[in-house]
A and B are shown apart, each in its own frame.
Chain A
Amino acid sequence: MTAAVEVVDLVKHYPKSAHNAVDGLSFRVPPGEIFGLLGPNGAGKTTTVGILTTRVVLTSGYAAIGGVDVARDPVTARSKVAVVPQRVNLDRSLNVRQNLLFHASYHGIGRTERHALASELLERMGLADKSRARVDDLSGGQAQRLMIARALIHHPEVLFLDEPSTGLDPQARLFVHDRINDLRAEGVTVVLTTHDMKEAEKLSDRVGVVDHGRMLTVDTPAALIKSLPGSGTVDTRIRPNGADRDKLTELLAELPGVRRVEPLSGPATADGTDPEIALRLYVDADPGSLLGPVAAELHEHDVVVSDLSPGSASLEDVFIELTGRDLR
């Protein structure tokens, strides 16, 4: 089957830069998948999306949308993609509905069809009552939804969403997430770039983590989390009763199945009693099976345990593990 998006050994070098912005990147997105492209700032995500949407000229390698080489036939490739950018780029000279109608006409959709599609999409995006509004009068969330409607009106094969919920309130974010999930049902391929790991984990079928222009790993969020050494966690909140915190940390880290222990910031008590401390244990084994041994160990040292709960690592842990803690 032809991939919806195929990128092979992609390289992009900007003239004045010392490094390649994209440096031998490869990945493949099958039709109908929601693919999350993650990476720190400057990792090469935006450049990669730019190449796939024909706005950035590649230096070498191959990039294709639905089997169409974007470098050799950008015009056909453009008819297959749609982009929802992070920054509003709606046509301010047109009202809400006209933004959809003219976009559809650029893509050769007939008059009757584009009017029907515009009405349907405005309804679906909760903008039916804004149909005649000026673009400048829309809120951030409304503009975002209008850009999604505009992107969908020409039936793209692949939709690129750049940071879809940056700056949106929780309601608007949920609404956008629901619409993205609808697209999955319709078989539209979605490539999502985001910094929001919870969003990526929630929406994506698979994610790829990019850094320094290279693909570090590609898999389902669940598999990535599972592959992380110490992917289970046990969070505990304790009152040391005079016992030394570092000593306790050391003791817990020596338990079989525990990889490492990190302090979490816990609430300090103001009444002069021992402050509570919170620790997170990263464990290889099933976190549930470690609750007993951890409790026993703490009990043996007269430590009061106020909370002990099993959990699992998140995509964010995977991301930090792969790309490091350094600021970009």
Chain B
Amino acid sequence: MSGFIGSGADWDFDALRRAHDHCADIAFGELKLDIYPTQIEVITSEQMLDAYSSIRMPLMYRHWSFGKHFARDEAYYRHGLRSLAYEIVINSNPCLCYVMEENTLAMQTLVIAHAGFGHNHFFKNNNLFTQWTDAGSILDYMEFAKKYIAQCEDKYGEPAVERVLDAAHALMTHGVSRYPRRRAPDLHDEEARAVERRAEAERTFNDLWRTVPGRAAGANLPTVEAERKKRLGLPEENLLYFFEKKAPLLKPWQREILRIVRHVAQYFYPQKQTKVMNEGCATFTHYHIINRLHEQGHLSDGAMMELLASHTSVVFQPDFDDPRYSGMNPYAVGFGMMQDIVRICEAPTAEDRDWFPEIAGSGDGLAVLRDAWAGYRDESFIRQFLSPALIRKMKLFSVFDDGGPELVVKAIHNERGYRAVRAAMADMFDVVQHEPEIEIVDVDLIGDRCLMLQHRVHNGVMLEETETAMVMQHCADLWGYEVKLLETDATSDAVLKRHAASPRRS
């Protein structure tokens, strides 16, 4: 290998390519990453703002909320309150990496290592992404979505389309399926199953069962209610899906728009669940690559200093009493844990051997990391791999708040607290715990077609009131009839609060 990548603020496409090739040598040779082909796109800061505001998709349908985000991001940016990201990376095949033209060559190298190899590997290998997103077709789908919605605007008017999109966006957090939907059995399946059941019954026949007193005849016939729920596929946690399929008054184009928003929500759901891992993977990768590049003499000392400065600011975790503190930094957690895993594999202490007998001292930290990148999401990754050493290093502690005047320190970074802290941290990054558990439970088909929703309240954490009222209004508009939401306590089933909304006639 030869060639100095270069330094300074100026770069050209040859230098970019050279930087990429050097990164690739290390990424494939040492880290053994497996990536989609990369497409690096050079953009201006304005285009970066554009991409920001349209939820980081290169193609997006039109909606006022994106204009709002753009106006705000632009104002922040102009006032210097916020700087722009150095890159944006899209989970697609080929993997699109947007890099800003203002970046220095050293910065571009970092960005290519971070996004083009780190994120890219994660997208291609993590099972949440491979199961739930289709990187090959997302751009085509968005192209279709954009066109379709533009056509709807032409045909039915912008206000009508906007109403549907507003409603759909309000339900986006609850437009995600967490489990694969069961396929409706067809006749062939039913028959096969009947045969199998009979064979099983014959194999396990025992006359003794006849003597056991049975249930009263008809007791296990489904009730009217159960039958109705089964027909409607209730309970259903994917609200957008339910409205798309079952809302009686929607027009086909409205259903299609709900479907589009639902697909977008589903596409982004894995990213929400893997912030720590995704950023950790990318940060770990770029850190490894730039260090190797520096050792091999491809990066000058000056460039290395620049990169280290920006690397440190990315993984900086302020303490809770620091004015800069705004929650846990996923970069810091992810990078810290991954470095820690490598340490455990290569230089374990006695404590590590107790806590991680399977991997401690295995010697190949990168292999363990690749497995983790493929198989885990934030919550399970933390529950599995957060080590006492890191808990001590970050001085993590958990605080219990029951609404009283004082908070109680529940667990700290000591022998008694490690497991509690680890569990609290895992819960904190568990998307499921942060999003209210809401299901559609019933529809009054015979009466006034009122739709019933239920929020199962855990630990007394209720819904935010004003916004819930607005979302309920959107639900009612989509459903076309009255909608009720009950907040019931998960343990006692007591109804804590009721919300209701009737559709607006327009």
Tell me whether A and B are bound partners. Answer: no
Chain B residues at the A interface, C-beta cutoff of 8 Å = none
Chain A residues at the B interface, C-beta cutoff of 8 Å = none
